[in-house]
Amino acid sequence: MSVDWKDNEPVPYAALCKTFETIESTTKRLEIQKHLTSLFTRVVEKNPEDFLTVIYLCLNRVCPEYENHELGVGESLLIKSIAETTGRKPAKVKEELSKWGDLGKVAKDSKTTQPTLFVPKPLTVKVVFDKMKIIAGISGHDSQERKVREIKFLLTACRGKEAKYLIRSLEGKLRIGLAEQTVLTSLAQSIVKDPAQKLSRAKETEESTEASEIVKSAYSEVPSYDIIVPILLKYGVKGLEERCKLKPGIPVKPMLAHPTKSITEVLDRVEGHKFTCEFKYDGERAQVHMLEDGTLKIYSRNLEDSSTKFPDIIERMSQIVKPDTKSFVLDCEVVAWDPEKECLLPFQILSTRKRKDVKEKDIKVIVCLFAFDLLYLNGESFLKKPLEERRQHLINAFQEVDNKFSFVRHMNATNTEEIQTFLDESFKCNCEGLMIKVLDGQESTYEPSKRSRNWLKLKKDYLSGVGDSLDLVVIGAHLGRGKRTNVYGAFLLACYNPEEEKYQTICKIGTGFSDVSLENHFKFLKEHEISAPRNYYDYDKGANPDVWFEPVQVWEVKAADLSISPIYKAAVGMVDHNKGVSLRFPRFIQVREDKKAEDATTCEQVAEMYRSQFNNSENMQL
């Protein structure tokens, strides 16, 4: 039974939590979709003003992703708030957490056993959302106390299951199996639904599929519900197509590449197309925006505003931009550069740069910007244009400046030998390998946020057999012995299962660390130790570490190969009925500061890597 409310009245938080509960109780995608669409439709009908708030609460965000205000209240603060609200001892709350691995459940149970003297007003979605925004924005002096005060206000007013979802939201992740794609589809369905219009079932499905494609495409171009939802409410889905277009100042979700393991594989994939090979530079992705008013912004791979990390790039843009270029969105790689020897330096050097508020006078690591794509120019979006045309505009609108800005080196190769020669050359220039891209036709458009087969990466790693390194989340550690006493000696890593929102263990790793890096990991991860594994960690007791961590850091790891494992859970059920996949001889490469835990290698990718070990026996030798 859903929770109802009157027209024009604020949407009760209970109605949202009831939908969360129903969604959590099923794994069937269509059912999840149905429940969410039903809630969204009622919100649109009864109180559209709350629609945006409901969407944000479903996604557990307080603002567009690129504004980077994370909720993520720490475990100890939440335990304190629960204890103080319910009169329980913090130690008791901790004990319950160890038992259940879900602080949300612990909060709900603690509230149930708590005697209530007076009953506060029921919570509305607006009150909860406004408070969450306040909590996310609290910093500085007294911040802990102020956060606890706000959390206690909300917790006191929670009824029934609300405490469970409230605490999970504050932790930073709802974990009810609700993917953003589902939210986007329901968003489209709730707008398209018109009860007065009697459509046949087939017609309704067709319209709803088309609508959800439009909404998803609009979102990957303009990843802001603040912009999309009001347009949808006012002009409907068709209106979105016309009014919601890429524009400078709002980062586009970057197009990603598909790993390959040999030139033969590359040629098979691009057969029948004109294609181009570009050097794959070993740096950091940067989307450079110039707004109409001349403001410059730089966004990272995960849409973080990194303008204050690169004041030197901002400063040099006036030399690079040709006079007729008034506004643009440029896709580039920033690479550490040695201006004396005029050569590229490895990513490790770049990673020593401070992450924000860099002062030009303090800069020690010089960088050069390598541009490979142009997504927008002077008021026009180029996303749907073929790469060949985008490249031409790129070359026309900008100019190379020694040691500062360059177009990526490219060659429109046609056969194995040419690619091989160009690949060798990329290695000599300290690049990671090549990016091979379809150059013309429909398949060469820019596909925001997609890991596309129209962009292939051919890296040095493919020679080691795995094809690509993996980006994995550190979820636990074993205490060090001998030389490693006082630091962690080995770590438990996991890949991500986005469907189930779980981290699946993949290997234990103790190789590739210097003494200094072990000390740094210890310092950082110690702060993120948790008292019990989360209930969204998929692990086997046989791989139990000494300590567990919150899923906060991603590591790049290389391995000799992948094998089936009775202990690890990565891609379980995907390549073997009940066994998972693990990495053999894993070696730590580096921390991936530019990836969030949810951007880690997925179980799907792990399964594909495992399978491709057998499909691709003609691995090329250099």
Least distance (Å) between residue 433 CB and ligand ATP: 9
Query: Rounded to the nearest 5°, which phi and psi values hold at 10?
Result: -60, 145
Residues between 323 and 382 with contacts to ligand ATP, criterion CB under 6 A = 333, 372
190: Cβ contacts below 8 Å, ≥ 6 apart: 37, 40, 41, 43, 44
Residues between 409 and 428 with contacts to ligand ATP, criterion CB under 6 A = none
Which CB, 21 or 440, lies closer to ligand ATP?
440
Mask: binding to ligand ATP, 258-287, rule CB under 6 A, as x and -? --------------------x-xx---x--
Query: Which residues, in sequence order, are bridge partners of residue 488?
Result: 479
Catalytic residues: 280
Mask: binding to ligand ATP, 281-320, rule CB under 6 A, as x and -? x---x---------------x-------------------
d(CA 370, CA 335): 8
Give per-residue burial for 592-609: e unless 16+ CB within 10 Å, then b: bebbbbbbbbbbebbbbb
Which CB, 337 or 372, lies closer to ligand ATP?
372
Least distance (Å) between residue 410 CB and ligand ATP: 8
408 near ligand ATP, judged by CB under 6 A: yes
H-assigned helices in 101-193: 103-112, 125-137, 143-157, 162-171, 180-192
Which CB, 328 or 372, lies closer to ligand ATP?
372
Q: Say how many C-beta atoms besides its own lie within 10 A of residue 261's C-beta.
A: 25
Angle at 350 between CA 349 and CA 354, to 5 degrees: 115
Q: Say how many C-beta atoms besides its own lie within 10 A of residue 304's C-beta.
A: 20
Which CB, 78 or 345, lies closer to ligand ATP?
345
Which CB, 13 or 422, lies closer to ligand ATP?
422
Number of Cα atoms under 13 Å in the Cβ half of residue 152: 15
365 vs 277, 337, 485, 537, CA distance in Å?
A: 28, 7, 34, 39
Q: How many residues bind ligand ATP (CB under 6 A)?
A: 13
Measured from each CB, the residue nearest to ligand ATP is 285
Q: Cβ distance 189 to 44 under 8 Å?
A: no
Residue 588, helix vs strand vs coil: strand
**Which of 475, 500, 471, 470 has its CA nearest to residue 490?**
475
Q: Cβ distance 244 to 227 under 8 Å?
A: yes
d(CA 572, CA 582): 10
Least distance (Å) between residue 604 CB and ligand ATP: 13
Least distance (Å) between residue 409 CB and ligand ATP: 9
Least distance (Å) between residue 394 CB and ligand ATP: 12
Mask: binding to ligand ATP, 454-473, rule CB under 6 A, as x and -? ---x-------------x--
Least distance (Å) between residue 344 CB and ligand ATP: 11
d(CA 307, CA 299): 7
**Which of 149, 154, 148, 156 has its CA nearest to residue 85?**
156
Residue at token pair 């007013």 = 157
Number of Cα atoms under 13 Å in the Cβ half of residue 378: 11
Least distance (Å) between residue 404 CB and ligand ATP: 17
Least distance (Å) between residue 533 CB and ligand ATP: 26
Positions in the binding site for ligand ATP (CB under 6 A): 256-257, 278, 280-281, 285, 301, 333, 372, 408, 435, 457, 471
